[in-house]
Amino acid sequence: MDFSKPDNARVINRMKVLSELRKGGCSRAELSRRLGINKVSIGDMIQGMVSEGIIKEGKKDRSSPGRPGTIVSIERSAGRVLVLDIRQRSISVSASDLSGSVLRYERFPRNGLEEGTIEAAINRMSSGENVRLYGSAIISSEPLPDLPELPKPCMRISRAVAEAAAETAASDNLDNTLFLSWSDSFDAAILKDTLIPLPTLAHIRVRKDGECSCGGRGCLEASASGKALMAASGAPSVRDLVRNSSYASVMMEAMKPIAMALAESIQATAASKVMITGDLSQLPDDAYAHLQNLIASLLPPGRDAVVFRSLLGEKGAREGAAIMALDAFFYHTDLLRKLEAIADQTPSLWNAV
């Protein structure tokens, strides 16, 4: 991108304004101060986005001396992103506003799913006067079934990355955290400045027997995934494994292979924290204490990692996927990060913007 071209500079400044307002509303003068963009340019951009309907004006800012300015903020209801969550037993569709908050959510069992059901749900989520669709995301780690086309642009996200994105948006200080998504199947990711998928963690060998879908034997997936635990215990659903106390011993036994896989992964990645996410993350404290002790017994002296549960539970995936879709298609967060990295090396070019 040629920073010296006025049109490109305006596009970048617009991204910076939206990104800053994502944190919360403020006055035009405050935006100018924070971003280092002159007040006239800020005023022109804000007026244009107010006309588009994606920014709204609110009350006066009386927090500082002088003439009060008007607080401007993102008009959250002006746009949406859709998320399609594909699981082994169900498919869900959700619509989120420009803040990432879920506005509507519908789930359908895959067994006996009628043709046109998902398409009808997508159409319902997409309807609304003066509402613009900015894109969509698909959460899936398996081959996609025959589904209707989602609004473009569309991105595909792994479950662990989506859940981790939601957790990091809700909580600070999660850098160097290993995220283990525990639902029908396993998935994993680690936060090292950016989220890095770890799809092979689910297939670390933890036992001698047990055939896995990957073709191997004794994988974590075949030993302790929700699907494996339902088959071994007769539980009717993943939710029952957590909510029904009669399966407590099954879940405690599952901690052994999970601890083995996590201990190996902690050493390989140097993770300092482990967060269990997904449908099976909401186990009681004694289960987490047991898992923590098992991991400690497997790690070498001097190496440890704190293990804790998800803050968001099963809703984390759809919230995180919406946040990532907004990052990519509306706020352009990754592009701004890359431009800032370039700025660190060529500040004179960035200052020209």
Look at residue 127 and tell me whether its pLDDT is greater than 80. no
Cβ contact 276:309 at 8 Å:
yes
State pLDDT tens for residues 279-306.
999 999 999 999 999 999 999 998 999 9
* Residue 186 neighbours by CB under 8 Å, 6+ apart: 180, 201, 202, 220, 221, 224, 225
**What is the C-alpha separation between 195 and 186, in angstroms, rounded?**
17
Residue 1: the pLDDT is 46
Query: What is the reported pLDDT for 267?
Result: 96
Query: pTM of the entire structure?
Result: 0.89
**Percentage of residues of the chain with pLDDT beyond 70:** 91
pLDDT band at 66 (very low <50, low <70, confident <90, very high): low
Residue 86 in 3-state DSSP?
strand
Residue 111 has pLDDT above 90, yes or no: no
Structure tokens at 287: 């289960």
- What average pLDDT score do residues 159-179 get? 94
Q: Kindly report the number of other CB atoms within 10 A of residue 25's CB atom.
A: 18
Q: Helices 159-170 and 316-326: crossing angle, nearest 10°?
A: 80
| Tokens 């060998």, located at residue | 205
Cis peptide before 153 (omega within 30 of 0): yes
User: How does residue 67 score in pLDDT terms, banded at 50, 70 and 90?
Assistant: low
**pLDDT value at residue 344:** 67
Q: Which residues contact 125 (CB under 8 A, 6 or more apart)?
A: 80, 82, 93, 94, 95, 104, 106
CB 314 within 8 A of CB 157: no
Is 327 within 8 Å of 333 (Cβ atoms)?
Answer: yes
- With a pLDDT cut of 90, the percent of the chain lying above it is 70
Taken in order of first residue, the domains within the chain and their CATH numbers are 6-74 (1.10.10.10), 77-158 (3.30.420.40), 172-310 (3.30.420.40)
- Looking at residue 338, its pLDDT comes to 82
**Paired sense of beta strands 306-309 and 273-277, if any:** parallel
Q: Which residue has the higher pLDDT, 60 or 227?
A: 227
pLDDT score recorded for residue 147: 78
Residue 3 pLDDT class (50, 70, 90 cuts): very low
Q: With bands split at pLDDT 50, 70 and 90, how would you rate the model's confidence at 179? A: very high
Mean pLDDT, residues 161-172: 93
Nearest to 159 by CA among 324, 323, 328, 317: 317
* Gap between the Cα atoms of 353 and 345, Å rounded: 15
Predicted confidence at residue 44, as pLDDT, reads 94
Q: Where are the extended beta strands (E) located within the chain?
A: 26-27, 55-61, 69-74, 79-86, 90-96, 102-109, 132-139, 154-157, 177-182, 186-192, 194-197, 273-277, 306-309
* Residue that the structure tokens 């910076």 belong to: 16
User: What average pLDDT does the structure give for the chain?
Assistant: 89
